[in-house]
Structure 1
Amino acid sequence: MSPSPPAKAARLGAGLAGAGLLLLLWEVIARQTLPAILPGPLAVGRALIALLGERTFWTGSLAPSLAAALAGVLLALFFGLVLGWMSFRWPLIGAALAPLRLVLMGLPAAVLAILLILWLEGGETMVVAAVSALLVPVFQIATTAGLGAIDPQLDEMARLFHVPRLRRLRHVLWPALATALMPALRVAVANGLRITLLVELLGGGQGLGRAIQSAQTWLMTDRLLALTFVVLLMIAGAEALLALADRRARRK
């Protein structure tokens, strides 16, 4: 059940009020410190506008990071679907994969990044490998849970009445699978961007990580915070698009 218009307006107002309080607190603290340590909201806003007007930012920083993050998430989704289905179909395979899944879930991203730097000698391949390796367990668990949530009686009835595979996939399998996969995808996109930045920072590769490292080196704190806002906006945008897709999928 979706919230009523007054409830939506109240939530929006509360969110705007919270954002306003954060900006006010930021401005108060910034006035008590040096601009090189914490610039104010206006300075960061000007840096953000200047950043968005640079062609090299779009082609040399944003595009490589987005491409690597997207490739890593899609690769993790593919292997997660395959391994999740295998774990559901053959429980012994799921048990055999459990130790590797636990290692990947518990392994810090920074440690994996350092190992991949040694093994792959940097580059976009290293970033994609780190993102996909750390996100595969998320999709594997979600796929197994989604397949386990399928109504066996409904599935059996569809088989008995010889429902075409595509219709059975859309009306029986997909609703249960999407319930588990969509939240996992929303988490994976945000984490994929974070992992991408971390690996780029540690590996010295192209992308937003290099731009952040350069801003830190030259003590351009306003540009550093502007880059941070770009990342937050990308995560918020991806979250909004996936939430919209999730709502539309549930209505069908």
Structure 2
Amino acid sequence: MSSTLQIVAEGTSYAPVPSARIRLGKNALLLISWLVPAALLVLWEVLARFGSIEPHVMPAPSKVLATAYNLTVSGTLLHDLSVSLLRAAIGFAIGGGIGFALGILVGLSRLAEAVVDRTVQMVRAIPFLALLPLVIVWFGVGEAQKIFLVALGVAFPIYINTTLGIRQVDPKLIELGRVQGLGTWELIRRIILPGAMPSILTGVRFSLATAWLALVVAETIGAQAGLGFLAMDAREFLRTDIIVLAIVIYALIGVGADSLARLLERRLLKWHPNYGARP
């Protein structure tokens, strides 16, 4: 300990021996990220081929792929997929808009927080399945019921993260804007919203996952089309290949939506040192 203090006192530079590091390029990291899913698929195929997994329990990936091809050729898969995507998009737009507006209002006003936040948090704590009977009474089993559940699920993550992001903006930046003569709306547009944008986009990523969760719940009741309907209809005929296909499609859509959200982060947060430098 004393020798270390002496070295520092004399101004001698000291650095620990760096550990060995393996530097990988962007393409190599991307390849590695897909190796594990690919290995799991190969293992799944092998186990199914040799009978270690019963076909009625978990069909082989090749069987699921053949089912996807047949449903695509017949037009069934594309129709159900487009219906689910449309429901998710409309619900996301409605719920996201409401959550964003309420988040800005509560984030900027303590009075609005006192009026709105408690009620929002109480509704947020209610599970989807508990609300489903009441929503059916309100809207029936048509499109409105499904869009309402998606919008409800989407609104909360965006609301919470928008409020949190606004509250975390550095007060010194706001004071600087006022010194520069910025009005209220200019202050919000140029300082508060950009400062809160990382948190807002995190809320968007969470809400994209919640949108599909809500849609799955909604499409299990009274749906005549959609991925949820496709899976529930397949259950009646013990078509596990179609059920697994629907699950895989949900997973792929989730990955795609998250990738779009990450791309949006990189585009909107180029100025941010923690985002702009990301590959």
TM-score (norm 2): 0.79
Superposition map of 1:25-40 within 5 A? 25-30=43-48, 31-40=51-60
Aligned mates of 2:188, 2:155 — CA distance in 1: 23
**Which residue pairs with 1:95 in the alignment?**
114
The counterpart of 2:199, out of the listed 180, 192, 206, is 180
The counterpart of 2:253, out of the listed 223, 234, 238, is 234
Aligned mates of 1:157, 1:84 — CA distance in 2: 23
Aligned mates of 1:170, 1:53 — CA distance in 2: 49
Aligned mates of 1:83, 1:165 — CA distance in 2: 18
Deviations 1:172-206 (A, max 9, x none): 22322211111110111121012112111134343
- SS of 1:235 mapped into structure 2: helix
Deviations 1:118-151 (A, max 9, x none): 2211111101111222332212211111111223
Q: Which structure carries more helix by proportion? A: 1
Deviations 1:68-87 (A, max 9, x none): 11111111221112222222
Query: Which has the larger displacement, 189-198 or 100-109?
Result: 100-109
Query: Does structure 1 residue 131 correspond to structure 2 residue 150?
Result: yes
Larger Rg: 2
**Which residue pairs with 1:57 in the alignment?**
77
Contact 1:123 1:205 in 2 (8 A): no
Q: How many residues align?
A: 248
The counterpart of 1:216, out of the listed 218, 235, 238, is 235
| Structure 1 residue 221: Cα displacement | 1.2
| Structure 1 residue 55: Cα displacement | 2.4
Amino acid at match of 1:33: I
The counterpart of 1:6, out of the listed 24, 32, 41, is 24
Aligned mates of 2:163, 2:131 — CA distance in 1: 25
- SS of 2:221 mapped into structure 1: helix
* RMSD (CA atoms): 2.4
Distance 1:118 1:28, change over 3 A: farther
The counterpart of 1:108, out of the listed 109, 123, 127, is 127
The counterpart of 2:64, out of the listed 27, 31, 44, is 44
Query: Does structure 1 residue 158 correspond to structure 2 residue 177?
Result: yes
**Which residue pairs with 1:206 in the alignment?**
225
The counterpart of 1:145, out of the listed 164, 178, 188, is 164
Aligned mates of 1:207, 1:192 — CA distance in 2: 14
| Structure 1 residue 35: Cα displacement | 1.5
Distance 1:167 1:119, change over 3 A: closer
TM-score (norm 1): 0.87
Instruction: State the structure with bigger RCO (CA 8 A, min sep 6), 1 or 2.
Output: 1
Aligned mates of 2:171, 2:245 — CA distance in 1: 51
| Structure 1 residue 58: Cα displacement | 2.1
Query: Which has the larger displacement, 80-89 or 217-226?
Result: 80-89
Unaligned runs of 5+ in 1: none
Amino acid at match of 2:252: L
> Percent same amino acid among aligned pairs?
25
- SS of 2:220 mapped into structure 1: helix
| Structure 1 residue 28: Cα displacement | 4.5
